[in-house]
Amino acid sequence: MSSITKHLFSKKSLTASILVAGGLVLGGCAEMSLLGHAASELSDPKAEEKKVASIRANRKVGKPYKIDGIWYYPKEQPGYVETGLASWYGDPFHGRKTANGETYNMNLMTAAHKTLPMPTEVRVTNLENGRSIVVTINDRGPFVHGRIIDLSRRAAQLLGIIQKGTAKVRVEALDSDQQDIRYLAKANTAPEERKVAAAPQTNVNSTSLEPPKQAKVSEKPLAAPTGAQPVDNKIGVEARPLNSENVVTSAVSPSEMYIQAGAFIDFDNANRLTARLSPLGPAKVYQVLINGQDFYRVRLGPLQSVEEADMLLAKLINNGHTEARIIVEQD
């Protein structure tokens, strides 16, 4: 090899070495920059406040709308609790747009509701078997008379109502703090994933160690304690992913179905409606105190089956009692 060739080769090698070293430094700087950015996102005390504000701003209440001659009025409903009948929907709605613009996925933990803001997190409890889950309201419906919530197929599976089609349920909206924490858990996933992806990669070799002498080796893996759920002590709610399939089971109490035809402040008005409805079935006035005010509810029942309740509700609506609904009372 000539001296000139050697000189050129050494210059090329030096240049390549500088470029490689520079690339390593720049790559390292990029990793450190990305790590620092992710860390600042996670540690910035105002970042979570901004995320909460963004979440709340994106909650959609919606305008009043009319379906089959009945008007529905979406609104904020803090402390919302309602009992009634749940149904579920899957195909052919899978893949279609929901009322808030998302794509409906029947395998996720979502549901449709007529008037709650979207998204709203609600706990749905099957009053017939004690199972309860948390789902996200992201659609409008159900528009079948006598149903208060339409569950995704997966949610219905977990509640045990796929085969039957309906179930007596209680629906409770989670308070705003609980909902914000669940959404923040999802919002924080992205920067955490970026942080992990940016971390330097290295190979790790592992080998299995022989158990100590005289040690007993279990043939089966240890099972997690049943019913144990991680809890955030600051707020007293379960710490779980947004789309968690966590099912909580509680004791079941007897429940009865009724048709509520109306509720009045004046007893005479309630009594007159009871007289008009008596040919349709056993109607009765029930007095209840709500926020210091007496109300008189006109109800028919108890009813023995969903089919009986549906038929009676249809008669009431066809006779002009469009506010009539199926309700469930639990002991």
The whole-angstrom separation of Cα 137 and Cα 115 is 10
The answer to whether residues 297 and 227 touch, using CB atoms and an 8 Å cutoff, is no
The whole-angstrom separation of Cα 54 and Cα 123 is 23
Lowest mean pLDDT, pick from 9-13, 242-246, 261-265: 9-13
Tokens describing residue 204: 């790790």
Domain ranges of the chain: 44-198+236-252, 255-330
Phi, psi of 138 (to 5 degrees): -135, 15
| Helix and strand counts by DSSP (H, E) for the chain | 7, 15
**DSSP letter at 222?**
P
Identical fold at 44-198+236-252 and 255-330?
no
pLDDT, residue 232, reads 34
pLDDT, residue 32, reads 46
Mean pLDDT of the chain: 76
pLDDT, residue 178, reads 57
Q: Residue 156: what residue type?
A: A
The whole-angstrom separation of Cα 275 and Cα 159 is 39
What are the pLDDT digits (tens) for 304-315? 999 999 999 999
Residue appearing with tokens 């009986």: 308
DSSP string, 95-116: TSB-TTSPBP-TTSSEEE-SSS
pTM to 2 decimals?
Answer: 0.66
Please check whether the domain covering 44-198+236-252 is classified as CATH 3.90.79.10.
no
Tokens describing residue 117: 């803001």
Fold type of domain 255-330:
Alpha-Beta Plaits (3.30.70)
The whole-angstrom separation of Cα 199 and Cα 197 is 6
What are the pLDDT digits (tens) for 68-118? 888 899 999 999 999 999 999 999 999 999 999 999 999 999 999 999 999
